[in-house]
A and B are shown apart, each in its own frame.
Chain A
């Protein structure tokens, strides 16, 4: 085992309220020391002048497609894309084929990610068997195998009695239940936000109500069960308000926002470009601003890419027929910096908090800090690095991404997982 000394960087460790210029020593895969380190010897010395030394970034919402759709992404390719994007840990969603709804599939994912040796992969199990929304999946077995949370992501659990039981049951393991908030009756066959652009483009719309009604329902159910709840990818101003009010009541409700909902609006669909087709859909400028405000005031706890790889041929279909979703791991950090720091919404310490300790707490995983003795998962960021997005260079197997040619500032330059350098710019 080697040791690594990172020198002269701006150490930002929100969990320990640290923001200082200093050094960090890694030994045997763990953080050995943080601060002014003199006389240290190391096999590798990294000069981090003008760089940020942060706990390894965590994305608690990605789709790695394996098992079932390996032509779009695999655990190996997705976790390699993750480290390229500065992520040392990702939580993968259970809408695979077969779904992650049993112990064996959880173990399969952990085995594949251990073999890939890139980012840590934390499996999220399905709430219900086959994600059908009907009967509870074997949560206990999955927890024992290593599942960190539960969701039927891709669809919301429609039946409130099933959702109530899920809250009650998951509480026994202190695991969070996460929801893709979408009332299917209200969403109908919508393929973009219901509003002006859906009206003029002649495309079926999805009302903000479809998201907000399920979110509101879930908050009440979680309250009744006394369970933790995490709302995935908020997209509307109304949703931000619902979460804000839940928090004001002291309920253990958390929420995430994606780069696209913080940067793009429904207007982008004007050219029928399916790289702007996501679920929940892109909304209005007012929604985008409410989400940024929610990030600034702590209503939104963490940032998540909802990395959703799809084949080029699928995204080349007609807008209503093309699948929802875009990839995000490769370029997320620059996008968050653009949406939140360049816009003056938040500063680097808060951005790092939203990408490290906060998602770690939601998933109850022992990650997201630079505490001495912690796993040496570290991301070194150049906050002033100017670069242009080139989707053809993505490590992800898929390139369905609307940001090609975007000019971004800020990029991870080194990603260290368990004391091993996994990515270096």
Chain B
């Protein structure tokens, strides 16, 4: 792919520093790839001959396969590396892993890691493009891009839309990436959840903090329901899933008070009956499966764009 004038990022590490024009460039590029994403059997050769490494230090099913599918639809070869023992638990250091990959002549690394900043560290030690597939609580740029791309498809523009991100904001990289890009594009972001699931400096983020979901339910254009992680319950940041669901779950009852055309999103995998009722997840307002399809298009777009900067 020929490098668009506006795009000069070899790596995609996060969305905080991307401009509205750069985000729009990704969406416009993704628009062209949607036709390859849905399973028509078509492929492009935009990344033909390129070698992409999927380097996952954390478990992942959908993000990992989405990147693999995106790479293959672009004609690239994909190597899957699962590094169960990250340097956090001894073994080879990330820097050494990077040098080894470099020696094998790879073009692009898709990395997921439990440590915030790990993709940045990798980018400092390797010539290949680095795509962040989620690092600690820091960023998960492609997830937010596919969320926003989905909203854009349905509404045309993000300007002035009210988006509620509901759940564990403190430990969510999806929330952070969404907060940055949604603000850049002119949306108004509400973060909803108990104070124990808010980051320490949430008041310094460009968001409205809300602990009473019902008070804002009727004015939202989008609900992005984050997954409740079971390990959070063990650390006792809230008393029980039952209570969480009662206060912050997107239930059938709450949906009755929401806007008729409200968009219901979830990054998956869903805990049915916890953060979202089954009927709502499968209902007419849900874009959950559309998000998954769009994920492939978005990942094709960022791979092609980052590869064009060489």
Stretch at the interface among B110-118, B212-220, B262-270, B283-291: B110-118
Which of these, B88, B114, B121, B176, contacts A200 with CB under 8 Å? B176
Given known pairs A313-B93, A318-B117, A321-B87, the reply for A202 and B135 (CB within 8 Å) is yes
Chain B positions within 8 Å of A319 at CB level: 115-117, 121
Instruction: Please state if B137 and A318 are interface contacts (CB–CB under 8 Å).
Output: no
The secondary-structure label for the interface of chain A is: loop
Chain A positions within 8 Å of B94 at CB level: 317-318
Q: How far is the CB of B98 from chain A (nearest CB, A)?
A: 11
A286 within 8 A of B: no
Can you name the residue of chain B whose Cβ is closest to the Cβ of A188? B235
Stretch at the interface among A52-60, A191-199, A213-221, A294-302: A191-199
Instruction: Please state if B116 and A317 are interface contacts (CB–CB under 8 Å).
Output: no
Chain A positions within 8 Å of B16 at CB level: 200
Instruction: Please state if A194 and B116 are interface contacts (CB–CB under 8 Å).
Output: no
Given known pairs A199-B202, A272-B120, the reply for A317 and B138 (CB within 8 Å) is no
B11 within 8 A of A: no
Chain A positions within 8 Å of B6 at CB level: none
A316 within 8 A of B: yes
A residues 294-343 near B (Cβ < 8 Å) are: 313, 316-321
Which of these, A195, A313, A321, contacts B201 with CB under 8 Å? A195
Most-contacted residue by chain B among A194, A204, A271 (CB, 10 A): A204
Instruction: Please state if B87 and A201 are interface contacts (CB–CB under 8 Å).
Output: no
A389 within 8 A of B: no
Which of these, A194, A202, A205, A313, contacts B138 with CB under 8 Å? A202
A235 within 8 A of B: no
B273 within 8 A of A: no
Instruction: Please state if A317 and B87 are interface contacts (CB–CB under 8 Å).
Output: yes
Instruction: Please state if B118 and A318 are interface contacts (CB–CB under 8 Å).
Output: yes
Q: How far is the CB of A282 from chain B (nearest CB, A)?
A: 15
Which of these, A196, A201, A316, contacts B116 with CB under 8 Å? A201
Kindly state the separation between the CA atoms of A148 and B214 in the bound complex, as whole angstroms. Answer: 62
Write the B55-86 contact mask toward A (1 if CB under 8 angstroms, else 0).
00000000000000000000000000000001
User: What is the size category of the interface that chain A forms with chain B?
Assistant: 20 to 34
Q: How far is the CB of B149 from chain A (nearest CB, A)?
A: 22
Can you name the residue of chain A whose Cβ is closest to the Cβ of B90? A321
A203 within 8 A of B: yes
Which of these, B115, B136, B139, B204, contacts A196 with CB under 8 Å? B204
Chain A positions within 8 Å of B204 at CB level: 196, 199
Kindly state the separation between the CA atoms of A195 and B200 in the bound complex, as whole angstroms. Answer: 5
Chain B positions within 8 Å of A182 at CB level: none
Instruction: Please state if B136 and A316 are interface contacts (CB–CB under 8 Å).
Output: no
Can you name the residue of chain B whose Cβ is closest to the Cβ of A314? B93
Instruction: Please state if B93 and A203 are interface contacts (CB–CB under 8 Å).
Output: no
Kindly state the separation between the CA atoms of A316 and B125 in the bound complex, as whole angstroms. Answer: 10
B299 within 8 A of A: no
B residues 103-150 near A (Cβ < 8 Å) are: 113-118, 120-121, 135-139
Q: How far is the CB of A125 from chain B (nearest CB, A)?
A: 31
Q: How far is the CB of B9 from chain A (nearest CB, A)?
A: 17
Instruction: Please state if A318 and B176 are interface contacts (CB–CB under 8 Å).
Output: no
Kindly state the separation between the CA atoms of A319 and B119 in the bound complex, as whole angstroms. Answer: 11
Write the A262-300 contact mask toward B (1 if CB under 8 angstroms, else 0).
000000000110000000000000000000000000000
A207 within 8 A of B: yes
Q: How far is the CB of B136 from chain A (nearest CB, A)?
A: 5
Chain B positions within 8 Å of A203 at CB level: 116-117, 136-138
Chain B positions within 8 Å of A272 at CB level: 116-117, 120-121
Kindly state the separation between the CA atoms of A198 and B199 in the bound complex, as whole angstroms. Answer: 9
Instruction: Please state if B88 and A194 are interface contacts (CB–CB under 8 Å).
Output: no
Instruction: Please state if A318 and B115 are interface contacts (CB–CB under 8 Å).
Output: yes
Tell me how many residues of B have a C-beta within 8 Å of chain A: 28
Kindly state the separation between the CA atoms of A198 and B117 in the bound complex, as whole angstroms. Answer: 11
Kindly state the separation between the CA atoms of A320 and B117 in the bound complex, as whole angstroms. Answer: 9
Can you name the residue of chain B whose Cβ is closest to the Cβ of A196? B201
Instruction: Please state if A318 and B113 are interface contacts (CB–CB under 8 Å).
Output: yes
B10 within 8 A of A: no
A residues 204-246 near B (Cβ < 8 Å) are: 204-205, 207
Kindly state the separation between the CA atoms of A389 and B268 in the bound complex, as whole angstroms. Answer: 50
Given known pairs A200-B16, A313-B93, A319-B115, the reply for A207 and B176 (CB within 8 Å) is no
Most-contacted residue by chain A among B94, B139, B176, B201 (CB, 10 A): B201
Given known pairs A318-B117, A319-B115, the reply for A201 and B138 (CB within 8 Å) is yes
Q: How far is the CB of B179 from chain A (nearest CB, A)?
A: 10
Chain A positions within 8 Å of B205 at CB level: 199-200
Chain B positions within 8 Å of A316 at CB level: 93, 95
B188 within 8 A of A: no
Instruction: Please state if B87 and A318 are interface contacts (CB–CB under 8 Å).
Output: yes
Kindly state the separation between the CA atoms of A319 and B88 in the bound complex, as whole angstroms. Answer: 10
Kindly state the separation between the CA atoms of A195 and B199 in the bound complex, as whole angstroms. Answer: 8
Instruction: Please state if B200 and A201 are interface contacts (CB–CB under 8 Å).
Output: no
Kindly state the separation between the CA atoms of A314 and B95 in the bound complex, as whole angstroms. Answer: 11
Given known pairs A203-B136, A203-B137, A313-B93, the reply for A320 and B199 (CB within 8 Å) is no
Q: How far is the CB of A202 from chain B (nearest CB, A)?
A: 3
Most-contacted residue by chain A among B117, B121, B135, B138 (CB, 10 A): B117
Q: How far is the CB of A109 from chain B (nearest CB, A)?
A: 30
B173 within 8 A of A: yes
Write the B192-204 contact mask toward A (1 if CB under 8 angstroms, else 0).
0000000111101
Instruction: Please state if A199 and B199 are interface contacts (CB–CB under 8 Å).
Output: yes
Instruction: Please state if A202 and B200 are interface contacts (CB–CB under 8 Å).
Output: no
Chain B positions within 8 Å of A202 at CB level: 116-117, 135-139, 173, 176
Given known pairs A200-B176, A201-B138, the reply for A320 and B116 (CB within 8 Å) is yes
Q: How far is the CB of B119 from chain A (nearest CB, A)?
A: 10
Instruction: Please state if B200 and A321 are interface contacts (CB–CB under 8 Å).
Output: no
Kindly state the separation between the CA atoms of A199 and B32 in the bound complex, as whole angstroms. Answer: 35
Kindly state the separation between the CA atoms of A194 and B200 in the bound complex, as whole angstroms. Answer: 6
Kindly state the separation between the CA atoms of A320 and B113 in the bound complex, as whole angstroms. Answer: 11
A residues 154-194 near B (Cβ < 8 Å) are: 194
Q: How far is the CB of A263 from chain B (nearest CB, A)?
A: 22
**Shortest Cβ-Cβ A-B pairs, 3 listed:** A202-B138, A202-B116, A272-B117
Binding site for A on B (CB under 8 A): 16, 86-88, 93-95, 113-118, 120-121, 135-139, 173, 176, 199-202, 204-205
Binding site for B on A (CB under 8 A): 194-196, 198-205, 207, 271-272, 313, 316-321
Given A202-B116, A203-B138, A320-B116, 11 more A-B residue pairs with CB atoms under 8 Å apart are A199-B204, A200-B201, A201-B138, A202-B173, A203-B116, A205-B200, A318-B88, A318-B94, A318-B115, A319-B121, A320-B114
Task: Name 5 interchain pairs, CB-CB below 8 A, sorted by A.
Answer: A202-B173, A203-B138, A272-B116, A272-B117, A318-B94
